[in-house]
Structure 1
């Protein structure tokens, strides 16, 4: 949402403005290519305007209003499996010296893994109904694997619906999809409680991320903030999530990695 109008496709390339974290992201993407991970953009250098240049990945990306295929269980499960592949590929990554990572959506507890932190529907490429690639690593930062999964759960379950006070059937569907994402990822049983706690914390970090952009007057974020009812709505989501802790744990306990 924040990059609308700044990212452009030219032929088989994608151009986007270079930023303070470009060196870190370049190092990460080059590592992924070196270890054979094909689910991220390739780095092609910089153009004459100083923009970062990446290879175009052919496929389908869901944007609002989301198509039915993007809301289906297989899209969610495929995304979970893709996140796991990404984490496995990044397990041995050593960041280039002197680079800096974004703190916008970073895990407050830190961690050894470099997390994407923004695996929303708009950042996943599908081909033939299969999740094949993750885009936009601008907000990558050190954290725990459960943090990346929690950030994804917020947007893929999705956990902002039902709104505060939503019906029990919708809440049950959310719990089922949280468990489906975790199962497809292969989340160990020992990490389930930490994952559930991370979802609530991720929502707070996500809300703060939105609020900063609202305060800066960014039109898309202002429209979203006002359209959802402002701070009371976002605060209500956090409280709703806290109330879902046990249902989520129950759903996770009844699932098995696949």
Structure 2
């Protein structure tokens, strides 16, 4: 506070922070990041060690004209990152599980991958996690769940959000990660009701066709999906020991779901592979 009965800079800053907090709208959805809120036309997110790398990526996407990602505004007085808010709907709905919506997600992912070309693929600064053994080709989103895809109108995905788990990887690894949720490559008992009775093999092929995945990558897709299951299990188990959101996810059965998905893939691999080749 200032002297002489007036309100100094610290007081003004405090009042401004309180006003901001009063207008915050918590944003639900996703599994990893707590404390994400909307303030007007912006989103405020807790900063992490990967925030500088993510901001550099988002600025690169803006510079090359990729429209399907939020823009970096800066940091607020509470040390949170400020991103532009992208209007639309997220999550699984009847209109977001159609063939057209699935093709749209594939096209969005391909456009994003192409837009990352030219961005440095250095391993430092990212959150880290499971990955492909091959040399990185792009910066993958690596968490393109239904909660992280924004639909501008029924059946039309137009943006992706939540780049916290982005990292250098191969195109195929990010495709496999995305199909884990959108095909989905999962035991039926763990699928969303809207996805429970769909033809997973046909959806795999549809996605790969829309993305333009090469034949050599299609032949390796299921093998890499299996590798990802085993490595994701280990990564999540390790992170859960630190507590927080990862611990809650693990306690909620994340590990068991990964194991069931891997077992389901083992049983159905031949029929899925027939759709891909």
Q: TM-score, length-normalised on structure 2?
A: 0.78
CA distance in 1, matches of 2:124, 2:216: 33
Alignment of 1:128-143 (within 5 A): 128=153, 129-143=155-169
Alignment of 1:1-258 (within 5 A): 1-4=31-34, 6-62=35-91, 66-94=92-120, 99-128=124-153, 129-163=155-189, 173-212=199-238, 214-215=240-241, 216=243, 218=245, 220-222=248-250, 224-225=252-253, 231=256, 234-253=258-277
Q: How much does 1:93 deviate?
A: 1.3
Q: How much does 1:98 deviate?
A: 9.2
Which sits farther off after the overlay, 198-207 or 80-89?
198-207
CA distance in 2, matches of 1:180, 1:124: 18
Q: TM-score, length-normalised on structure 1?
A: 0.84
Q: Which string of whole-angstrom CA distances, capped at 9 and with x for unpartnered residues, describes residues 210-241 of structure 1?
A: 4345543647414530xx7x64x532321321
Q: How much does 1:106 deviate?
A: 3.5
- Structure number with larger C-alpha Rg: 2
3-state SS of the aligned residue for 2:119?
A: coil
Q: 5+ residue gaps in structure 1?
A: 165-169, 254-258
Report the CA distance shift for 1:172/1:44 in structure 2 as closer, same or farther (over 3 A): closer
Contact 1:46–1:53 (CA under 8 A) maintained in structure 2: yes
Which sits farther off after the overlay, 35-44 or 241-250?
241-250
3-state SS of the aligned residue for 2:188?
A: coil
CA distance in 2, matches of 1:106, 1:56: 29
Q: Which string of whole-angstrom CA distances, capped at 9 and with x for unpartnered residues, describes residues 137-179 of structure 1?
A: 1111111100000000001111113249xxxxx7881111111
CA distance in 2, matches of 1:235, 1:127: 34
CA distance in 1, matches of 2:98, 2:68: 21
Which sits farther off after the overlay, 183-192 or 35-44?
183-192
How many residue pairs get matched? 239
Contact 1:151–1:199 (CA under 8 A) maintained in structure 2: yes
The structure showing larger relative contact order (alpha-carbon pairs under 8 Å, at least 6 residues apart) is 1
Q: How much does 1:83 deviate?
A: 0.2
CA distance in 2, matches of 1:209, 1:74: 33
CA distance in 1, matches of 2:203, 2:115: 25
